[in-house]
Amino acid sequence: MTTTLQTTSLFIPIGNDQLHLKRFYNEDSNGEAVLMIHGAIENGSIFYAKKKLKGLAPFLAQEGYDVYVVDLRGRGLSTPAVNKTSTNTQYDTIMEEIPACIQKIRAIRSEHTPIHTVAHSWGGVLLLAYLARHPQETFKSMNFLATKRSIKVKNIKKLWEVDVFWSAVGEMLTRVKGYLPAKEWGFGADNESRAVYRDCRQWVYALNEWKSNQDGFDYLDALAKANNIPPTLYLTGLKEYYLGHQMDVKRLMKEVNNPQDQFILLSKENGFKKDYDHINICTSKEGPQDHFPLIVEWMRSC
């Protein structure tokens, strides 16, 4: 399907902050809505090229969907940018930012419009946490790219890049700067507030529990009792060595324990054009002819 796409930037006030929500849509289409959530040390541009209508978000819009890509608090075009005075936590993302995006989409579309979700990496964890906290809410489908909740896999890359650099060096930098300077130090597309970074780190290393640092809410217990988890497609690449390793993705699937879910490993051996890694699973030029259509098929089947 080839259409002329429209894009617009929407801004959602939350207290003294503003969330940026970028919309991709076709004016002639009344397609179903899609909310896209980025991961840690990222912003929404993981889903689209800033100067060209390329990437997963424009692809979904070309397929007739009404697509909304959020920059979570302090990231991307959301303001103010993360700095040493930023106090936002993952709890705020789950209880304020995601609900604000959903409310905005429904204000544009209709009060009860169905919403599909697509998340990269940690964005999927935040969506699951949101559903655990809001049992009255659900989505029509979820699609997770390289999403894990905790990291159990052991290899040299994980030891160096997660345990040494992201955890140990990251904590040192956070103490000095007052936030995680991932963009400034060149190991991420965006910076993280001190609390968001530490919340994320705590969950990554908690293999057998998943609780809120703010109020002790037990996400594993809530998900075990939940009946609002939609069918979820989990995609990850063969060259995911630690941030979305297939073993850890499958561990998250067991934590959620939704029999409708499906897992696909993106590898040449499985018939795909390449062995995907953590970033090119979203950005590869082969995506529109390779695995992006699987997401559309999944959404249409739900």
Question: Using one digit for the tens of pLDDT, what is the confidence trace for 80-110?
Answer: 999 999 999 999 999 999 999 999 999 999 9
For all residues of the chain together, what is the average pLDDT? Answer: 96
Question: Using one digit for the tens of pLDDT, what is the confidence trace for 202-212?
Answer: 999 999 999 99
The percentage of the chain sitting over the pLDDT mark of 70, rounded to a whole number, equals 99
Question: Using one digit for the tens of pLDDT, what is the confidence trace for 155-174?
Answer: 999 999 999 999 999 999 99
Residue 167 structure tokens: 């955890």
Residue 1 has pLDDT above 50, yes or no: no
What pTM did the predictor assign? 0.96
Nearest by Cα to 153 from 245, 275, 249, 40:
245
The percentage of the chain sitting over the pLDDT mark of 90, rounded to a whole number, equals 94
> What is the b/e burial string over 225-251, where b = at least 16 CB atoms within 10 angstroms of the residue's CB?
ebeebbbbbbbbbbbbbbbbbbebbeb
Question: Using one digit for the tens of pLDDT, what is the confidence trace for 23-63?
Answer: 999 987 789 999 999 999 999 999 999 777 899 999 999 99
Residue 3 has a pLDDT of 58
Nearest by Cα to 61 from 36, 94, 87, 86:
36
How large is the average pLDDT for residues 2-19? Answer: 90
Residue 52 has a pLDDT of 78
Show the domains of the chain with their CATH numbers.
6-301 (3.40.50.1820)
Q: Hey, which residues does 163 pair with through a beta bridge?
A: none
Are β-strands 6-14 and 17-25 bridged in parallel, bridged antiparallel, or unpaired?
Answer: antiparallel
Question: Using one digit for the tens of pLDDT, what is the confidence trace for 269-278?
Answer: 999 999 999 9
Question: Using one digit for the tens of pLDDT, what is the confidence trace for 108-135?
Answer: 999 989 999 999 999 999 999 999 999 9
How large is the average pLDDT for residues 234-240? Answer: 98
Residue 215 has pLDDT above 50, yes or no: yes
Residue 169 has a pLDDT of 96
Residue 226 has a pLDDT of 96
CA distance 58 to 117: 15
Residues 6 or more apart from 127 whose CB is under 8 A from it? 37, 98, 117, 119, 139, 142
Residue 30 has a pLDDT of 82
Residue 197 structure tokens: 């970074």
How large is the average pLDDT for residues 283-287? Answer: 97
Q: Are the CB atoms for 301 and 262 separated by under 8 Å? A: no
Eight-state DSSP code of residue 98: H
